[in-house]
Structure 1
Amino acid sequence: MERPELPLPQLHAFVVLAEELHFGHAAARLGIAQPPLSQQIRRLEDKVGHALFTRAPGRVTLTPAGSELLPAARRALTDLSDGLAAARAVGSGRAGRLRIGFAASLALTILPGLLRTFRHQFPGVHLDIHEMTTAPQIAALHHQTIDIGLLREPPTDETGLGFRTVLSEPFVAVLPSTHHLAAQRVVQLAQLADSPFVLLPRMVGPPLHDQIIGLCTAAGFTPQVVQHAVEWQTVCALVETGLGVSLAPASIRRIRLKGVAFRRIEPDTARTRVAVAWRENNHDPLLTHLLATISQDPPDRS
């Protein structure tokens, strides 16, 4: 048997009349005249198939059918009100879910402050955070499994994606504390020519990998890479074992390992860029709010 559809205006009129038990008072509360209210109630009773009120001069009471309908009618109106409020919150960017990819090293720089600020401004937004290197972030953006990425050395040939540089920082030499160059405050890049290197594999971040190789090439040598590691913390841990040296963004110095020394390099003109990336066809207000948060509170670019 097909279930009758109950229009919400009729349910609203029914609930108000059930609360007032007086047609005149209910009509005034609804802001309508009594005849339209009576028509709404009759239409609802026709759909139910039973009287919902008993009517007597100066007196209106709920019938058993009306008493049974009243809790469900109230729930329906409350659910609708809650749903409309939730939809408005999501539509305005005050609620919802934002999926963020980030390079692990950014947990040492801009990520904590950015998330704190955004959560303070938009406490109703759920942040879904994914630690990812650059290449997987680019793929995830294209596949729409993340909404925004925070990555190092963004590619220059990606169509459909927008990029904005939010931070740049110099490179440092990462040395075992027992390395003979660890005694120096500043290391000339050419001095690393004879040392084995531990680097991130090119596939996880081609532009950054190529930039490091390019720095070495400009200093007159090609680094002898003996080991790859996907995360900078792992790179540092392998350096600590004496396996080799590395070049890394300066923020890596916040990784505290007793057996690792971080030293300035010369020439120090090279900078690694951190960028925010997003799909250009993504018009979600949550994305707009996060981009605005980054612009309002830009990180230190020293």
Structure 2
Amino acid sequence: MRAFVALADHLHFGRAAASLGISQPALSQQLSKLESEMEVELIIRTSREVSLSPVGELFLDGCRRTLAEALRTTEIVRDAPLGVNARLIVGSLGAGANGPLPHMISSFRESVDGLIVELHHHPNNATLERDILDGSIDVGVVRSISNEQLIASRKLLDEPFIVYLPDAHPAADRASIKLQELADEDFILWPRYHGPWYYDRVIAGCQRAGFTPRITGYGTSLESQLALVSAGIGLTLQAASNQSIRREGVRCIPLADSDLSSPLWLAYRRWHRPKIVDRFLDASSPGRGTRSG
């Protein structure tokens, strides 16, 4: 099962075998044996590529959940002699970790003896949803949910935006700035594939302010975007949760416009979730909105 998941992740026999620490022939033998036992074709092999069959796609979801549960059980057994009574695995976008999440975890930790918290950074909503569904994480802080049938969510906040500018920018000492005042500026954004919902929200906000942003750079993390701002490539718009992040050569200024904001949601599986998740939900503030289950 681990061999199948590794191949599904890499879609390349050599890289999958290397990730498992086994030879490529050994990996092929394991997968052939699995297909023979199940009497189905899980992998489609051609001279050019490796892909999953439709049955393989279905099997993959179950494999991920099974392996995640097995890992969780192993951790519980190992934790017990150390006096650990519970483990909460949290996934979050940078804005969650930089914003409301630390306070939520701190408050919850006070109410649970022997709690271990794992916090995993995720670059986008898609990986968060996948890990919530397969049980790799218990709860996640996301911008949006695409699979509301299987994932429930609770709104944490609607947050305004800030602008990161180079120190030398004429507006660097302003107390705030309006979005429409940035019409002639160069912009640094997240690549759209990194988060289509967030990217489109920023573009739409600029267009409501009367302009389409002139993009001169992309960064796949907040740190990389701030590096480009510091280099004078342009400015970047970020949700206010990130204002705790500072970089030399860059100023952070609140955006005065109220029409550009972004929600943060606490997401979790609707069914078959660990009991620790419900305890965390009960201890957390209910927020201003909910899509719960």
Please tell me the TM-score bracket, short chain as reference: 0.5 to 0.7
1:95 maps to which of 85, 97, 102:
85
Alignment of 1:1-302 (within 5 A): 95-133=85-123, 134-151=125-142, 153-155=143-145, 158-295=148-285
**Aligned alpha-carbon RMSD (Å):** 2.6
Are the counterparts in 2 of residues 175 and 245 from structure 1 also a CA contact under 8 Å? yes
Report if aligned partners of 2:109, 2:115 keep a CA contact under 8 Å in 1. yes
- Choose 225-234 or 237-246, whichever is displaced more: 225-234
Cα-to-partner distance string for 1:197-232 (whole Å, 9 max, x where unaligned): 111222232222211111111112221222222222
Deviations 1:265-292 (A, max 9, x none): 2422332111100111134210001111
Question: Which stretch of the first structure deviates more once superposed, 116-125 or 283-292?
Answer: 116-125
The residue number in structure 1 matching 2:16 is: none
C-alpha separation between the residues in 2 aligned to 1:155 and 1:162? 9
Q: Deviations over 1:38-93 (max 9, x none)?
A: xxxxxxxxxxxxxxxxxxxxxxxxxxxxxxxxxxxxxxxxxxxxxxxx89xx9xxx
Task: Give aligned pairs, total.
Answer: 208
- C-alpha contact 1:154 1:163 (8 A) present in aligned 2: no
Output the CA distance in 2 between the equivalents of 1:143 and 1:190.
43
TM-score, normalized by length of structure 1?
Answer: 0.62
Letter aligned with residue 184 of structure 1: R
Query: Does the 8 Å CA contact 1:135/1:203 hold for their aligned counterparts?
Result: no
Once residues 96 and 251 of structure 1 are traced to their aligned partners in structure 2, the CA distance between those partners, rounded to angstroms, is: 28
Q: Secondary structure at the match of 1:137?
A: helix
State the alpha-carbon separation in 2 of the partners of residues 218 and 112 from structure 1.
Answer: 34
Is the Cα–Cα contact under 8 Å of residues 189 and 215 in structure 2 kept in the other structure? yes
Compared CA separation, residues 216 and 164, structure 1 to 2 (3 A): same
Structure 1 unmatched ranges of 5 or more: 1-85
Q: What residue in structure 2 maps to residue 43 of structure 1?
A: none
Q: CA deviation at 1:166?
A: 0.8
Matched residues in 1 for 2:254 and 2:117: separation? 36
1:71 is aligned to none
| SS of equivalent residue, structure 1 residue 187 | coil
The alpha carbon displacement at 1:157 in A equals: 5.3
Counterpart of 1:233 in structure 2: which amino acid?
A: E
Q: What is the distance in 1 between the residues matched to 2:113 and 2:197?
A: 35
Q: Report the Cα offset of residue 192 of structure 1.
A: 1.6
Superimposed CA distance per residue, residues 139-194 of structure 1 (whole angstroms, 9 cap, x where no aligned partner): 2122322121012x213554311011112211012111211232433322122222
Separation in 2, partners of 1:203, 1:142: 21
Instruction: Look up the SS of the partner of 1:212 in the other structure.
Output: helix
Residues 145 and 151 of structure 2 are in contact (CA less than 8 Å); yes or no, is this contact kept in structure 1? Answer: no
How far apart are residue 103 of structure 1 and its match? Answer: 1.2
Contact (CA 8 Å) 1:167, 1:274: kept in 2 or not? yes
Equivalents in 2 of 1:236, 1:159: separation in Å?
37
For 1:193 and 1:115, locate their aligned partners in 2 and report how far apart those are by CA, in whole Å. Answer: 39
Contact 2:138 2:273 survives alignment (8 Å): no
Q: Retained in 1: the 8 A contact 2:160–2:260?
A: yes
Specify the SS of the correspondent of 1:182: coil
- Of all paired residues, the percent bearing the same amino acid is 28
Secondary structure (helix, strand or coil) at the match of 2:152 reads strand
Cα 1:99–1:173 shift into 2, 3 Å? same
Partner of residue 50, structure 1 = none
SS in structure 1 at match of 2:144: coil
Larger CA Rg, structure 1 vs 2: 1
Q: Give ranges in structure 2 of 5+ residues lacking alignment.
A: 1-75, 289-293
CA contact (8 A) 1:166 1:275 kept: yes
1:175 is paired with a residue whose SS is: strand
2: CA distance, partners of 1:273 / 1:223: 22
* Alignment partners' CA distance in 2, 1:186 and 1:97: 42
TM-score by length of 2: 0.64
